[in-house]
């Protein structure tokens, strides 16, 4: 069965996925040690680890944008061999946006290969720009935007394509605290209501704790899984502003920080 023939959410399996960057002018860099993981459909998995431990490499491999040096990625039993429209990616940097296109034009990018009717396309662009608070900027060129607005454009582009698997690489890092908290709440709502699988990379231990149903900690390079924990707070459904102060949450944040070694990620 190919990826396109399967419908709905599907389990993701990383089978010995590792990566070494090769270069003609420098020694090879082992970024990722073989990683074995099974991520059930519908999970909200958060990946944390020190800068340079291979988090972005891992997401790019899952997205099908970078072939792994070792191992395989399987989605619903089918091997991932390239990008697919069931997987949406928000990159750590906004360089994947086309600077000469408008904000709406960039959001449309993810839809152009789907051959949707024009009205459906317009409705999705409108919906996602509203969601990320950029309707007023629909016709602005991307290079006219702040880093945080570019990041929100990327999020809108990924969501417009309605992927089953959403891959987010430090998506909120460039946002101010207020916008970041709104976007965290919005992402949680989308995940709850649309049964998506989310894999979310973050530097923030608190963000990981608030959003994730499972937290995975990678070791320093070459990244390997050193901690893999399901989180289930009894009061998980509280608004995030209240959940933040929940004693169980505060305790888990402290524990995770401790586990990471208290160092800055």
Q: Which residues bind Mg ion (CB under 5 A)?
A: 55-56, 92
Angstrom distance (rounded) from CA 151 to CA 132: 10
Q: Kindly give, in sequence order, each residue whose CB lies less than 8 Å from that of residue 220, ignoring residues fewer than 6 positions away.
A: 49, 50, 52, 53
Q: Residue 56 or residue 151: which is nearer to Mg ion going by CB?
A: 56
Q: Residue 20 or residue 135: which is nearer to ligand ADP going by CB?
A: 20
Token pair for residue 29? 């860099």
Q: Which does 221 bind (CB under 5 to 8 A by kind): Mg ion, ligand ADP, none?
A: ligand ADP
Tell me the closest approach of the beta carbon of residue 51 to ligand ADP, in angstroms.
5
Residue whose Cβ sits closest to Mg ion: 56
First to last CA, the chain: 40
Centroid of chain to Cα 96:
15
Q: Indicate the DSSP class of residue 85.
A: T
Tell me the closest approach of the beta carbon of residue 65 to ligand ADP, in angstroms.
12
Q: Which residues bind ligand ADP (CB under 6 A)?
A: 21, 23, 29, 31, 49, 51-57, 221
Q: Which does 187 bind (CB under 5 to 8 A by kind): ligand ADP, Mg ion, none?
A: none
Tell me the closest approach of the beta carbon of residue 66 to Mg ion, in angstroms.
13
Maximum Cα interatomic distance, the chain, rounded to a whole number of Å: 53
Sign of CA dihedral 177, 178, 179, 182: positive
Q: Which does 54 bind (CB under 5 to 8 A by kind): ligand ADP, Mg ion, none?
A: ligand ADP
């Amino acid at each position: 069965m190919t990826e396109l023939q399967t419908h709905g959410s599907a389990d993701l399996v990383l089978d010995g996925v590792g990566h070494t960057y090769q270069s003609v002018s420098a020694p090879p860099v082992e970024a990722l040690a073989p990683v074995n993981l099974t991520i059930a459909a519908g999970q909200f998995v958060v990946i944390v680890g020190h800068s340079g431990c291979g988090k972005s490499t891992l997401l790019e491999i899952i997205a099908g944008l970078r072939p792994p040096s070792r191992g395989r990625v399987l989605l619903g039993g089918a091997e991932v061999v390239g990008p697919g429209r069931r997987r949406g990616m928000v990159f750590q940097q906004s360089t994947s946006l086309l600077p000469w296109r408008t904000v709406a034009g960039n959001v449309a990018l993810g839809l152009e290969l789907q051959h949707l009717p024009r009205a459906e396309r317009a409705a999705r662009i409108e919906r996602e720009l509203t969601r990320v608070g950029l309707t007023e900027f629909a016709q602005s060129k991307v290079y006219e935007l702040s880093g945080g607005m570019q990041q929100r454009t990327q999020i809108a582009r990924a969501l417009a394509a309605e992927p089953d698997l959403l891959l987010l690489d430090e998506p909120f890092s460039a946002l101010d605290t207020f916008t970041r908290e709104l976007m965290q709440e919005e992402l949680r709502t989308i995940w709850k209501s649309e049964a998506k699988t989310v894999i979310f990379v973050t530097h923030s231990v608190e963000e990981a704790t608030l959003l994730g149903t499972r937290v995975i900690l990678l070791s320093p390079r070459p990244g390997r899984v050193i901690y893999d924990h399901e989180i289930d707070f009894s009061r998980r459904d509280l608004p995030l502003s209240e959940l933040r102060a929940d004693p169980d949450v505060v305790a888990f944040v402290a524990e995770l920080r401790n586990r990471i070694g208290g160092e800055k990620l």
